[in-house]
Structures are given as C-alpha cells and as structure tokens.
Structure 1
Amino acid sequence: MSLVKSITSAKSSNKLIKVILFTLVFINLIYFTSVIHNNNKERISSITSKLTSSTSGNNNKQQEQHLTDADNDKLSSSSNQQQQDAHETVLEEQEKEQQTQQQQSLSDDDIQFKKLVDAKLNSVKKNQGKYYMTNTDLSETKIKVPIKQFLKKYESAESWINKNELYYDPRFTLSIYLNELYMQYQEMSDEQLIDGNDNQHLIGGKINSNELPDISLPFNWVDWIDLTMLNKEFSKPMYQRLKCQDIQANSHSNPDTSYFCTDNEDISEETFQEFFKMGYKYKTQFPGFIINDHERHEHYCDNDYRVMQAKAYTMTHLLNPLKVIILGADKKDGNGGTFEFSVDNSKTRLTSSKLIDRYMESHGYYTRKQDSNIDTVRNGKRFFFDSSEDQNEVPDIIEMDYLSTWNQLNEKVVPKYLSPNETGYTNFLHMRDKNSIVLKESKFMEPPSIASQIEQYTGKPENELSPQEKLYLEGLQECSKYTDENEVRYFRMAVINPGDPRNRENEWGWHYDWRFFNELTHRTNIILDRLLRNWSKFAMEKGIITWIMHGPLLSWYWNGLLFPYDNDIDIQMPIDELVNLAKNYNQTLIVENPSEGYGKYLIEVNTYFHNRGISAEQNHIDARFHDVDSGIYIDITALSSSNAEVPKEYKQEKTIQLIDDLTKTNSNKEGAGNNGKQVNSENQLIFNDRRKHFYKIDQISPLKFSMMQGIPVMVPNGITNRLQFEYSKGLKSLEFDNWFYIKQLNLWVQKDNIIPILEDQTRTSNEDILKQIQPPSSLSNDQILKLLNNEEILQEYYLTRSLTRFHDFEKQVLFDDNGNDKPLDLVKYKTYKKGLKMVKPLRKALYEYENIERIKHHH
C-alpha cells in the first residue's frame, strides 16, 4: 500500500502516473494473489480492478472499487476532465458556435435587454444578504451547548434527563453520532493492531470501514425529529394538560378515541416501565394523552391537534429504524460512499446514553463521577484505560462543531461502498457511467409465490436471518392473509379539517404521512428538492434503478424542474428493484450529507406489495421515501407482470400501442406458455403498477439519464406518447391552476404576478392572459424586466437559469422539432451526459431556513 500512498502525494505528469499505475497493477496482482487472506480476495481484486480501469479506461470489463478521497482525486485527474459546474461547461461548448450568430442577429433593443437582465442577476450575486435564499451553503453549523445538563456527573433538577421538556437540535445529534462513529472506527483499528493482525483494514493511510465489523448504536426518535412543540404541554401541571377527551372534541363526528388514544393516567405500570427504558424517569415527562395508533381519515381534526398526535405517537410508539445510512460527500466520480450503523434494541435517548460522555472524553474532558477507569468491551475482549490523566474539568458551555467532526471522519475513514457480491453492484457501475440503461423483461417478472418465499425463509435458523430479512418474512406472512381485494390500507395520511382557520387553502392533508406531520407547509419546494436529491444519491450509491414518472416527468419535460405548485414526487422501478429495497433497506433512515443539510428520510416498504394485482383498498403505492421533518414523501411504485385486466382506455388509445393485440393477450391469460402473465402478439410482456398504469418494455427501456433540479435522474424511453396519454393537454397548455409558463424565463409564474405587467389589465381571465403571452403574441422585453422586478421571481430565475438552459439543450437530443420522441442522438448524448453531475443544492436546508435564516431576516 506504500505505492498507493506515494501516488496520492505525487505531483507528476500524466505520463509518469500512467507508468506508475501500470507497474502498480502488475505488482499488486502478484502481491494480492500470494499474500492476502482468502476472505479478502474479492475486495482486493476490486481495488486492483479500480487501478486497472484508471489506466485502461475499460469500465465495461473492469470492476471499480473506491480508494481514499486522495486516491480518487489523483487517479481521476490523470484520465478524467475536471467538471465543477458540469452543466455550465457543456452549455459553453454547445453555445460557442451559436453566440456569434445570435449576437449578429440581435437588435440594439435585445442587446440592451440582455445587459439589463445580466445586471439584475449580478445584483443578486453581490447582495446575498438581501437575496439570502439563493445561498444554499450552511451558515451556522456550530452550536453552544450547556453541556453539564446532559452529563450524569453533574445531574440535577436542571438536567435534561429530569426535565419534562425535550431538547432538540440536529447539530447536537450529528455531533454526538459522527463522533461516536469516528471513535469506534479508531478503536476497532487499534484493536486490530493490538491483536497483532495485519493492516488490511488500512488503505492509503486511512481506516477502511469496508473491512471492519458493522457498528451498532442506540437510537431514539426524540433525538432525530423535533418534538419540542410538546414542550408547551410539558410545562403545564398534569391536571391542565390536554387529554383524549380534548382530542375527541376537536375531531369530526366526535369519535370514541379508545382505538387510538389513552390518557396518561390510564397507562399501565408495565407500559410505563417500557417507556422508562428509553431514558425517562417520570410520568410527567409524557403528554396527558398517549397516541398509539392513527386516528381514522373520517375523524379528521384541526392542524394543531394533528401535529400533536404525530409528535406524541413518535415519542412513544414509532418503531425505530433498523439501520441509519449517512450519505457521503460527492466526489468527482459521482459517488461519495456512506457511513452506516445498525440500530440496537435499547431505544435509549441521548440524555441517558453514554455517547455524550464519550464525546466529552474524546475532546479532553473528564466526565466520570468516581473512578476514572473506562471499561471498553469489544468482540468479547475487555480494555481498561485511565481517562483522568491529562483531562480537563468540564466547562458550563462548550461549542460543538459537527461539521469539523464530519470532515475528520472523512479524512481518517474510507466510507462504505457496495461490494461486488452485493445486490445492485452491477447497476451501480452502469449508473456511474451515465450511459443509457437497457432493462430486461425478467426484471419485471412477478416474484416467486408468497408461500414459496415463506418456506424459503422459515427453512433457515432464525438466528441466521438479518433484521431486514426478519422484517421481510413478517411482511410475507402478513400479506399471505389477504388478497388484492381485501388487504388493509397500509400508508395513512394526516387528514385535517379543511375548515380550520389556520388552513388557508382548505387543504385536506392527503399529501402528508400522519406520523411525521409538522403542520401544513408552504415550504414544499424546499422539501421536495431535498427529497429528490437525497433519494437520487441513495439510489445511485446502492445501485437501485428508478425513474421519474407521471407529474414529475411532465414538469421535467417543460423546464427540467419540479412544478412550483406540486406537492409530491412519483418514481417507478422494476419489481426486482423493489424486492431489493424491501430485503435490504426497508425501515432504513437516510441522513443527508451533513455538509449540505440536516434532512432525514425513512424508507418504508408497503407490507402488501407482494400482491401484484390492482389494489381495491388504495394500496397503490409500494413504498415511500418519507421526509420525517414534514411528512411529505416520494411515492414509489413497482412495475411487474400480473393477471390484472388491462383497462379499456389502453385498447382505445392508439398512441400507447399495447393495444391492438389485447384480445389475444387476454385469451392467453391462462396459457401454458405464459404462466398466466399477459403478453401481446409480439410476445412482449405487459406489466403494471397496482393502480391503473400498464406498459410494455420498449415504453420504459432503455432508460436515459437526465437532470431535474440539478439532480441526475433517469427518464423512460417513451416520454411524449405516455404524457399525452396521461395528460391530454399537459404538453401544450401554458396554464395550470392559475400558473402560467413564461418561455423567456423558462419558469411558471403565478397569475397575480402577471396581471400587473400586462398591457391590457382589464382582460384578466386565463384565456385572455394566454392570448397575450403565447404566440403569435408574447411578452415584450419591458414586460419581462417588470417581472424580474419581483424579488421572488428574480431569485428563482437566478437559481434556475443555467439548469433550464441545459434542459433546452438536452431536449434537442431527446426530441424532434415538434417536441416528440426521436431516436437517441448518441453523439449529442455523449456531449450532454458530461453535464449530468449533481450540482449544489438548489434550495436551502429546511432546518436552517426555519430556525436560523427566517428568524434572522424576518424581525
């Protein structure tokens, strides 16, 4: 490995690096074959493949495995282009030839207009205080903490373990957990060296987490979701707190609340003992009412009561995730790896765990109450060391900087990457290349029967099943009790009273999961952007193939952005990818790259996804990616073969072309050659989701990479025909729900912002506005400048201009002059795929916006 170190530190020419790399490959192949233990051969061969592919560039034949950050940077610099603002670079290459022609054809008025627009954009760039929403960097990552209130040594009535109120700050939580990960990796590395093991767990001078045992840590939702809105209740004496009767009085139809709510005073002692194991001491540390289930949709209530129900349920009854995955920082090759830990069974909150003491001791403070010997047990071996030597007394207040800890973790530890023997590894390699991806029909074939899968898993000793496999088996057993017609609805919503005075838009709450509901929000654009960003990162890291569909695909078609009025995201995947998601990542909490934000997202797979017919009980969604800070989510649906009847509209609509052969298709339902699956006359498999959407393979495959919101995503092969089928006017109409598409800005703008700039402000119907903004009429340069006088529109244009221009370019690659699908232009695709790199977040981190920036800028 000394050769790897020398390469990472060398500043040689490309030719010299290539010579060294070829030599390195040859030496390492011999070295690895003769020396490395058998159980490491597969991983080491992956590393040599990485080195080989760096010199040969043959990504199709060589498997790639990540080295250290420095290794990746140096190796890629000798063979790959530097692409910091990749979409801008591609645009510059594409537009060089056009700029001279455009400049010659521009009138004096157009030239002046361009200068004025550029001046407005420059004013945004120079005045970040005024236009603070355009700066998505984190501004306040450090936090001052009265630390003695968290430590056992200084326990008092003011300690958080004794207070009724809850403490929450994501920067505190990240500081503790990132530090613990770093410490445990250091301890495991030291243990390897103490035991006289070789240094295979080291690579390029860094600890390789891929070669060390998994880490298991305690977890409690109160440290990961803001439940402090309950503090208003906790500050009251028990007799003044809300009870179930108050929930009942605020609910529609005045329901019997016993099915979901129990008063604090009626909770059994046995149940409270379970609560106390989480790190609580007193019954007063819980609300006056305990929520143990969902209040039915027909018993909707006001916004605030629904939020309290969500917080109370999360505090006591929300099941812990099985695993936590922290997304790594992006690298030049597009993947930053992950840091992961399994969740133990303790459910202990931080205020009663040892993690805070360990944080303090690792930073040079002595926190033990009596003796100073710290007892560490790992892998059945016990280690003692004196913690008091050279340690300082604890101050009243300390400054925590989780970002510094995060950087330290990345500097010293290689994150986890998929290994060649893990599901999704081949996908992972293809997705890194950003080439089009061809899907086989086998990926859409309905999985083996539920009964056969149950037999497979019950045939194994229980102690050999992972927590994820046990959960998968439980889902199979539960699903086996039901059919498509009688299964129970799985996902449940935060249905609220549309007449609530706080509910200004008469919202019903159908787009929020009830457990994570945190009030109706107008921050949807922030949340959806971060949802899509982190789902894409996770899917890329784990080799999970998905693509955008339905509303998001339509909004992508227009300008490569999400509709500003949308409130959810729809993605699809083949059924075998959903099975992978269920078996390996169900109930996993995904944590946003800490250098970008504080988002947390729960992966949850519907128990009844094993039934593949059309669901009668609205189990149309197979999985969700929940934003646990708001309840907003991504809907995930799988496509699979089934015996579901193809709806009549597919027989009538020729643009979809399932179509003419359905008589033969249906007659073949029970055909021996088709195993009950539907095929058309060309023997193409017809597959569907659990609602009403049917497809054949060439409408989906090959998948093509694109950008949405500055995020790499995949889109299906057939786009315009499908969108025309689902949205008859969606590709042509410049208006939807009082939003109008302004082509000069590539943005949707609200009607109220357009009316003041119209020449005839007496004609304000949607039809009249359309006549003034679309060909043969259009908005003048002066009218566009007036629109840009609106600070929100100007900020949005500043943030999105380069992204929408890139989308205009890629539409030339994917569509003909009429906007319809055309055969892929491989030359242009090769050019534009260089720009398919994750860019900086388009929107601010939600926590920073709500708790720091908004307070700072709105006095």
Structure 2
Amino acid sequence: MWSRRVGARWLRSHLSIIRKFGVLALLVFIVYSQLYLFHSGGTNETLKGWIDSIRSEQKLSSAEFAAYLYRKMKYDTSPNWIDTYTLNENLLTLPLGPKQGTKLRSIEELRFYESDPRLTWSVLLEHLQTAEAERKENRVVSFSWYDWSDFHMFNKLVSLQEVNFGCGFLYETAFELTQLEAIEKEINDVLFISDRLKYNDPKWMEATRKKEIERNDPVVYPESRCRRYSDKSRKFNLPVEAHQLDEQCRPEVFALQTRSYLLNHYKNPISLTLMEHDNSSYRVFVDPNDRSNIQQSGYLKSFLQKNGVTTVHNDNGNGNGRSGKKNPNVVFDHWKQYNIFLQSNTANHYRTVIPEIDKVSYDRDFVHLSDDLFEVNVPSIIEELESIENPNPHDKEYLESLKISRETHPALASKFLSEAAHITQFNGMGYHRDKRFFNGALIHDPLEYQLRLNALIRNWLKFTRSNGLITWLAHGTVYGQLYNGLTFPWDNDFDVQMPIKHLHLLSRYFNQSLIMEDPREGNGKYFLDVTNSITVRTSGNGFNNIDARFIDVDSGLYVDITGLSVSSTPLSDKLTSDYKKFSAIFDSKSYAKDKKWPERGEGLASMDIFELQNYTADHSDKFSSDQLKKIEELVNHERNFQQGTDKPESGSNPNERYWTNKELKAYNCRNNHFVTLELLSPLTSTVFHGVHALVPRKVAGVLKNEYNLPKQFGFEVFDGKAYLPALHSWFNYNVLKRFANSNSWNTKLQKIKSPISKLDFPDIKLLLDNMLKLGYNDLFTICYNAFNVTSYRYKEREIQFDNSSSKNEKFKLLHILRNDVAPQLSSPGKDPYMFNYERRMWRKVGATIGNTIMRAIHKAVETQASNELWSSYVATHEGRSELFITRNELGDVEIDLNNHGRKITEPNTILESDPF
C-alpha cells in the first residue's frame, strides 16, 4: 500500500513534464480506446485485478498507470514494491499455467506457487516469533530450495495437466520442438525467452540436436541420474527428478536440470543468515533432513490462522468458504514483520556475535591491518573446537573441514568448487557460473546481467561489514573501482581478498549458509561455500586457487574470495626489489634452521614434495596416473628452484621461504598473487556500487604488480572498449562511435561537434539523445541509474588529488563525503527480483495495449529521463549538485563539497601514483 502511494506521488509530480512531450494525449486516446480488453477477457483476471486495484487507489488513468509502471521498472532503483501481496489476489490466484487467473479455495489445493519474498519472509518470521514464544528447544527450521530460489520456468512445467515429458527433456542437448510447442500451447506462454526464436529455425535445430537425431535407440536413464514418477497429482515438483548434473546441453535445458537437482537432491544449507542492512545479522539453523516448503511444513497454515483465517479457504467470490464464512484477505507485509522481529527478544536469540571481531574498525576512514591477521594456528583451533561440549552445526562443519584440510597434501587435493564449464553453445561463459545454481544464459539480457552483478557485490560488502569481517576489492574489481566506482561492464564476476584469519572466521560462522539481503533493501539470496582445504596456502596442483564463493542462488554468478597469508610460495618477480633489500639484512637459512615448518599437516600432508614422491613410488597402486604425473611435475619445479634460478628466494627450501615471507610481510593467495603489508595497510574506505567498501592503501602500486596500468585518467580504448570520462562509463567502442555519428552515417541522428576523445560538454546531451534514438535503452538505463555513484567516485578523486589542500584537509573532506554523502546514494541498479516482477507485468500490459502505445510510452518516459540525466550532468558541471551539499535539520547548508577538490582534466598522471 505504502509503495503504491510513493509511486503515485512521483507520477503526479511529473505529469506536467510528461505532457510537455505531446505524447500523453496519444497515450490516453489509444489506451481508452482499448480499455474494453481489461473487462472482456482480453487479459487474465490476475492482471485485471492488479491494474484495477492500483488505478482505483491512486485515481490513475490507464495511460498514467502504464507510464508509471514503465518508469518504475527502468528508472526507479528503490526497494519499494509496486503492489501488495495478499492471500486471495496473489497466493490463491494461479499466476501462470493453463489455469492462469483461477482462484483456488484453499492452500491445500496449491500444486505450485511463486517464491515471492513477501510470502516466504512473512511466513518465516512469523514462525520464528512463534517458536520463541513457545520456547521450543529444537530451534531449527524446515527448508526447501523451492521457497528461496527462482523456480519460475520450473513452475510453468509443474502447472501442466495434459502434456507429459521424460528424463530426456532435462538432459538432451536442446528441447524437442514438438514437445516444447505442446507445452507452450498448454500454458499459453513461452517456456523461456532467451534464444527461444532459434528453436523456430529448422537448420539450427538440426545442427543443435544432431546427436539426438542420429541416435537410433532411446536413452535409458538410470535412477541414480534421473528418476521418473507416474503420479500426476504430485505437488511442487515435476514428474522427473534430476539426481546428477550434466551440462552437455543448452543453457535453458541445463537451467531446468539444475532447478530439479537443487530441489530434490542438493543438501539443505546449515543455516539462514538474515541481514539487517550492514549493521547486524541473524543466524537461524536449518533442519538438515526436513526439505518441506512453507506449505508442506505447516508454516503457511499457521501464519494464516494467526492472521484470522480459520478455514484457510477462498470464497471464490461468493462470500462463502467451506465453512460458509468469509475469511479475511490476509496481507503478507514482510517489511512490517521484519521490523517487529528486529525489535523483539527473538532477534536477540538469533543475533550473530563473533567474539574475535572488532566491528568498530569499519566505522573508521582507514582500517589498519596487523601482521598477525595473516597467520592462523590451526592445531590450536582444532583443540578448541574439540573441547566444546555441544557444538553448533557450523562449528561441527568447520572442525570437520579443518581436519580434512590438515590431512590433504596440496599436490593431491581434489577440486572443490564447480563451474558450469561445458554448457553447449555458451561460449565458455559457464566458467563464471556455479554449476548447482545456474539458471539461464543472461548474456542476451545485459540489463538483468548487470543488475544481478550489482546486487551480488553490494550484498557481499554489506554482509561482511555487518559482521565485521575484513575484505577488500582485488584484481580487476579494484581496477574497475579506480575509474568510476563500478566494476568493468565486461567482467562476469568479482574478486575480493581477506586476511587468512578472517577467512577462517567466515568459514566457521557462515560456511554453507544461505545469506539473505535485508528485505527492506532488496531480495538477494546468496550461498556461501568455503573449500575444505583452506589450511593449504600454496597452489599445489592448482585445483583450489579460490578459497570460497559468495553465490547468487538465482543465477549462479559469484564473488571469488581468496585469503592472503604467509606461505612458502616463492615470491613473485614483482617483489624482486623488495627481496633484494631485505635479503641484504636477513639470512633466511640461519633464521629458519631451528624453526618448524608451519605448513606441515598430518598424514600425507606432513610430507614435503620430495618425501611424497618417495612414498608414492612405494605405493603407486594407491594413486592415479594424473596424481603421479602432477607430483613429478611439482618435484621437478621445486628441485630446479632449489638448485638456483634468477627468481627471488631461489636456492631456498619451503621452510626458509615461509620465514622469509613472514618477516618480509609479503602475503599471497593460492593463485600466487603477492602483496606486501606496506601496500595494503591501512585499507581505505570508499564506495563501490553505492555501498561501503575497502581498497588497498596503495591501489596503483598493487595494480602495477598485475596489470599495465595507464598513467593518465581520461579517454581510453582497451580491447574494443572505450572509457568516456564525460559519461562516467565504459562502452563498446564501435557502439560509441555510432552514438557520436562522427561520419554522419545516420541522417536521423545529431552529429557531435567535438572528437570523442576530447568531448566538449554540450555534446553529452547529443550522445544521450542518440543513444536512445538508436534503441540502446538498456545501456541508457544503466548510465542513468549509476549517475550518483559514478559522480561520487569523481568527487572522491577530485578531493584526493587536490594539491592545493593539505593532507589533513583532504582527510576531513573525505570523511564528510563518506559519512554524510555516501549514505544518500541509491543503488546503481534495480533489485533483480523486483525488475523481473515488474517486467513480467509490463509484458502482460504490453500484450494488451499493443506495440503502438508501448512505443509511445517508451518515448515519453525515456525523453523525460534523458532530460533529467542531462540536468544532473549540468548541475555537476556547474558545481551546484545537490548530492554534494550537506544540510542541517533546518535545511541550511553546512558544507558544499561542490566547491572543493581539483577538477581532473587532461593531461594528467593520477593513475601512475596513489594520492597518499
């Protein structure tokens, strides 16, 4: 209800602007001429009820409503919902399938439902409150992936009543066309969108399904791989179950396979972690054996009964349920439920407390790292865990993991994390997706792709800060931040690092937890997976260079997490100068002579590589040929190194290298990336994708060890991409040249008057207009929504490199920027769930009102957005941006940061060195 009012206020306040474009009259005429469709079966009952309820409440015309919906979908990144989720209009009204729009009488009649966060959060929170009130000892919750991941395509198949399919539908290279068409005819909808048109091309189908076409006999799938059920009345599931994953198929097929595997075979998480902004988190343990969803567990029924539903039956519009008494239309208000939870004693019971953490450090502008953060005494931790009388499930998992790790030799560790690396016709993009949670290509939907990446990193940063866990941006991720406070748009994942001590704390408290974004901020759900070999700090056989992943369960996209620690890994060539200076005053052989090698584990892991080779020679039957080959390779590498090379530390053994690296304060991840404490600490507070983040003290110094960092910040072309400082963004260079219309190739476009590489300010408006005229609407949306975040990064850099201010003056201004301005930044991208929710509604509206009015709405809303964005550029350019003005409670200006900082013009050399 509240979210509707917010949207209506925005719309009413902007109607005069929209009307100036001369399009609204056309919208009104066309929409009203087609209004009969809303009331004569031209659209389904769900859409009709939704439209009528919002229009009636807000007194909006159909044209105004359609414009509002499109505007909110594309240019509103706030977490406000467009509608209210209720029992009758949402849960008991079928949202898809052959009976779409039908109203059920009871939750007992549900065969499927969409995992709307308002539904699942409300029911979970009510259950937690009830368990606390009843003081139940067994405080674990039942769990089903069905409630906490996207099963939209899956549910379309669950809704089927006539069409049948077998295991081949989940495992063949591509869907069989006749069967796919029969399914889509019954559900009156496409099964999937991305690449769907390719199925209509006979030549493409013949080439794609070649192996299926050439096969004479049907494939027999063993039950260990796929199981078939004959019960057509089965609820919340398909007639087939995938028990093994095989990505040798198209993305849409594999997405369906993974959903089935996830629901029926993959284990429950150990816990649910509920985030409260970036302040706190609450950990709820999950029953490992109870896979019931909220309807099967009785949680939903209990919720409804507590909200006055006695019969749990819909009255089907006649006022009479089975009891002859009308039940209330319950609202699932999860924001209200969460506020109640946070203020209750229940929250205190579930609050996560990590005794070893000083959360106050995150409130400082600089986070100082001590060298003890980069070593962990694992035997001592194991001893402590074994002494706990009643360890919780996370402690049990962590202890087991440490024991496995201590017994695992780096040369023999099997690969732990898995990627969907072999998906057919996916151009290797599966390497950037977790196999278990893969849920579709996304590469043909660049806007949703960017939204998911944006939500992913924002939630990782909020999650770690809420628990005081130290993490900083690394590799290509911090490189992207250096430019405009965002990741490079071509990156498919994120790279972050942690000190090894905090990686262990992450593993102990949250490994195998499903981490859920504060529902008042978004709807993200992320699975944390830490390898079972984190005590191994050298690359070994190279299978486990990544220590952990923070995985979006609705797409499989992830954050790569690596720990930095002391190890015996030979120093990288980039640290040759540091090593020569240090070795002149440090004798590693004498120093390490009487010291134990801390990396020695137990069993085979207690051996160095030469000892392991001798052991395998005597027990070769216990090892595979690949393992023996890898051991020989590592032996040769170590022997050559100890015999002397031109590398730093050459001639030293692993124990000597360990103690040299420790004293040098040079730390590495398992992928052999080194950084010194001097480059890292103190970590500097900044903003990345609109939320608080930490970066190394010497960002340029760190990046120079990995990349050929340019000296100048300005226009730049790299591998077909161009950075345009005036628009704060990277673009495909060929696309950018089309916007510029430099050669007047398109007479319908305006030609910019200045070169792209030295763009005059007025030409920004021409570029924005041309971008929209060429149909790059999604690219424009990304620029529009990210403007405040990218402007923040520009202002931060202007203050950092202002040579007219002292260091203390700059620190003071940066403190104001981070504490007073940063909290006002909105997300540079819309919540992915909410975007898809509104996009599905928009498509339904579009199917009703037709292409003509949709194009008119596009033009009206996007013309307005273009003018707004141009006004923001002008205000920033003229030094009067409201974003950088801090005011007191009376609205008086306290400080205007527009007047501070050095404008970064070309030429410059600010990327060559660090500001402090």
TM-score (norm 2): 0.62
Residue 815 of structure 1 deviates from its aligned partner by 4.9
Q: Write out aligned runs for 1:230-629 (5 A).
A: 230-234=154-158, 240-243=164-167, 247=171, 262-265=225-228, 286-295=237-246, 300-328=248-276, 330=277, 335-345=278-288, 346-367=290-311, 393=325, 395=327, 398-410=330-342, 415-416=347-348, 422-426=354-358, 428-431=359-362, 433-449=363-379, 454=382, 457-458=385-386, 460-461=388-389, 464-499=390-425, 503=426, 506-521=427-442, 522=446, 523-629=448-554
User: Paired residue for 2:594, among 672, 688, 701?
Assistant: 672
* Contact 2:143/2:286 (<8 A) preserved: yes
In the alignment, structure 1 residue 755 sits paired with structure 2 residue 737 = yes
Q: Residue 743 of structure 1 aligns to which amino acid in structure 2?
A: P
Cα-Cα RMSD = 4.3
Q: Write out aligned runs for 1:15-414 (5 A).
A: 131-132=71-72, 133-137=74-78, 138-140=80-82, 142-146=84-88, 165=112, 167-185=114-132, 215-234=139-158, 240-243=164-167, 247=171, 262-265=225-228, 286-295=237-246, 300-328=248-276, 330=277, 335-345=278-288, 346-367=290-311, 393=325, 395=327, 398-410=330-342
> Cα deviation per residue 1:622-662 (whole Å; 9 max; x = unaligned)?
111111111111111100111112244543xx5xx456557
2:639 aligns with none
| Structure 2: gaps spanning 5 or more residues | 1-19, 25-66, 95-102, 175-208, 314-322, 598-654, 747-751, 848-916
> Cα deviation per residue 1:326-353 (whole Å; 9 max; x = unaligned)?
222x5xxxx5433442212422211112
1: CA distance, partners of 2:762 / 2:797:
25
Q: Residue 230 of structure 1 aligns to which amino acid in structure 2?
A: F
2: CA distance, partners of 1:672 / 1:322:
43
In structure 2, the CA distance between the partners of 1:417 and 1:161, relative to structure 1 (3 Å rule), is closer
In the alignment, structure 1 residue 704 sits paired with structure 2 residue 647 = no
1:28 aligns with none
1: CA distance, partners of 2:822 / 2:481:
15
User: Paired residue for 2:787, among 784, 801, 804?
Assistant: 801
In structure 2, the CA distance between the partners of 1:239 and 1:559, relative to structure 1 (3 Å rule), is closer
In structure 2, the CA distance between the partners of 1:434 and 1:300, relative to structure 1 (3 Å rule), is farther
Q: Which moved more, 1:358-367 or 1:284-293?
A: 284-293
> Cα deviation per residue 1:360-386 (whole Å; 9 max; x = unaligned)?
1221222599xxxxxxxxxxxxxxxxx
2: CA distance, partners of 1:829 / 1:846:
31
In structure 2, the CA distance between the partners of 1:665 and 1:161, relative to structure 1 (3 Å rule), is farther
> Cα deviation per residue 1:239-263 (whole Å; 9 max; x = unaligned)?
9423159626669999999799523
Q: Residue 140 of structure 1 aligns to which amino acid in structure 2?
A: I
Q: Residue 476 of structure 2 aligns to which amino acid in structure 1?
A: G
* Contact 2:169/2:253 (<8 A) preserved: no
Q: Which moved more, 1:226-235 or 1:522-531?
A: 226-235
User: Paired residue for 1:850, among 804, 812, 836?
Assistant: 836
1:782 aligns with 763
Q: Residue 767 of structure 2 aligns to which amino acid in structure 1?
A: K
2:638 aligns with none
* Contact 2:378/2:535 (<8 A) preserved: no
* Contact 2:279/2:467 (<8 A) preserved: no
| SS of 1:691 mapped into structure 2 | coil
| SS of 2:489 mapped into structure 1 | coil
2:796 aligns with 810
* Contact 2:142/2:286 (<8 A) preserved: yes
Residue 265 of structure 1 deviates from its aligned partner by 4.3
1:153 aligns with none
Residue 220 of structure 1 deviates from its aligned partner by 1.2
> Cα deviation per residue 1:183-242 (whole Å; 9 max; x = unaligned)?
445555xx9xxxxxxxxxxxxxxxxxxxxx994322111111122423454456899423
* Contact 2:726/2:764 (<8 A) preserved: no
1: CA distance, partners of 2:780 / 2:583:
51
1: CA distance, partners of 2:332 / 2:381:
48
1:684 aligns with 664
| SS of 1:531 mapped into structure 2 | helix
Q: Residue 612 of structure 1 aligns to which amino acid in structure 2?
A: R
* Contact 1:587/1:602 (<8 A) preserved: yes
* Contact 1:166/1:227 (<8 A) preserved: no
2:826 aligns with 840
2: CA distance, partners of 1:612 / 1:368:
56
Residue 397 of structure 1 deviates from its aligned partner by 5.5
Residue 846 of structure 1 deviates from its aligned partner by 0.9
| SS of 1:624 mapped into structure 2 | strand
In structure 2, the CA distance between the partners of 1:798 and 1:420, relative to structure 1 (3 Å rule), is closer
1: CA distance, partners of 2:361 / 2:261:
42
In structure 2, the CA distance between the partners of 1:227 and 1:700, relative to structure 1 (3 Å rule), is same
| Structure 1: gaps spanning 5 or more residues | 1-118, 151-155, 192-212, 268-279, 370-390
Residue 827 of structure 1 deviates from its aligned partner by 3.7
In structure 2, the CA distance between the partners of 1:723 and 1:669, relative to structure 1 (3 Å rule), is farther
- How many residues were matched structurally? 645
User: Paired residue for 2:727, among 716, 741, 745?
Assistant: 745
* Contact 1:434/1:836 (<8 A) preserved: no
In structure 2, the CA distance between the partners of 1:738 and 1:176, relative to structure 1 (3 Å rule), is same
* Contact 2:410/2:541 (<8 A) preserved: yes
Q: Residue 135 of structure 1 aligns to which amino acid in structure 2?
A: D
Residue 357 of structure 1 deviates from its aligned partner by 2.1
User: Paired residue for 2:756, among 770, 773, 797?
Assistant: 773
2: CA distance, partners of 1:669 / 1:266:
68
Residue 600 of structure 1 deviates from its aligned partner by 0.8
2: CA distance, partners of 1:811 / 1:454:
46
| SS of 1:610 mapped into structure 2 | coil
| SS of 1:744 mapped into structure 2 | helix
In the alignment, structure 1 residue 736 sits paired with structure 2 residue 679 = no
In structure 2, the CA distance between the partners of 1:817 and 1:783, relative to structure 1 (3 Å rule), is same
Residue 565 of structure 1 deviates from its aligned partner by 2.1
> Cα deviation per residue 1:477-507 (whole Å; 9 max; x = unaligned)?
33344321221111111234453xxx5xx35
Q: Residue 795 of structure 2 aligns to which amino acid in structure 1?
A: F
1: CA distance, partners of 2:536 / 2:809:
36
> Cα deviation per residue 1:576-601 (whole Å; 9 max; x = unaligned)?
00110111111111111112221111
* Contact 1:339/1:415 (<8 A) preserved: yes
1:98 aligns with none
Residue 143 of structure 1 deviates from its aligned partner by 1.7
